[in-house]
Homo-oligomer: A and B are copies of this chain.
Amino acid sequence: MKKINAKNTVAVATKVVLPNDTNTLGNLFGGQLLAWMDEIASVSAHRHCRRVVVTASVNNVSFQKPIKQASIVTLESKVSRAFYSSMEIFVDVYVEDHVTGKKEKCNEAIYTFVAVDQNGGPIQVPEIIPESDEEKKRHDGALRRKELSLILSGKLKASDAVDLKKLFFKK
């Protein structure tokens, strides 16, 4: 199975925050942003494996600053690492300054998608080749996040989490 370069899984969606998308403070509704990120992440996952993909989990979504109505929001997603049938995807969210046009990062999220067949069973996906420094850093972190998730769900003993343990001893 041919490996895929991380950069070939990039997907971009630019949107305008309409009244329809806002909460009662006039800012982008958290739930709406979560739905937008899910949609664009599914495109990256699909571009990686060319299969039907479904959301498996969402993690590390932080809403650092409110996004005002009328803002132009750009979502960029990229696969950071693939495990047998699952893909970890980073979604970075940027808001554009109305006057200068400068983009500022305002959110980040990690989604996991799984490739499935007609019966919903898992299908193997290609491995990813990280190239840039950020791609490599996120690729490495993915293993740690996977161990952590297995521990938290009781499927792995903490003492066996090789990669994660380093975090607690060495640092």
Contacts and interface: CB of A to CB of B under 8 A. Distances in A.
A105 interface: no
B31 A98 contact: no
Q: How many copies does the complex hold?
A: 6
Interface residues on A, range: 35 or more
A57 interface: yes
A81 interface: no
B54 A27 contact: yes
Contacts of A26: 19
Given A23-B18, A56-B63, A171 B159 contact: yes
Interface in A107-148: 109, 120, 148
Given A148-B148, A167-B158, A171-B157, A39 B56 contact: no
Contacts of A31: 34-39, 55
What 4 A-B pairs come out closest when comparing CB atoms?
A30-B55, A31-B35, A31-B38, A24-B70
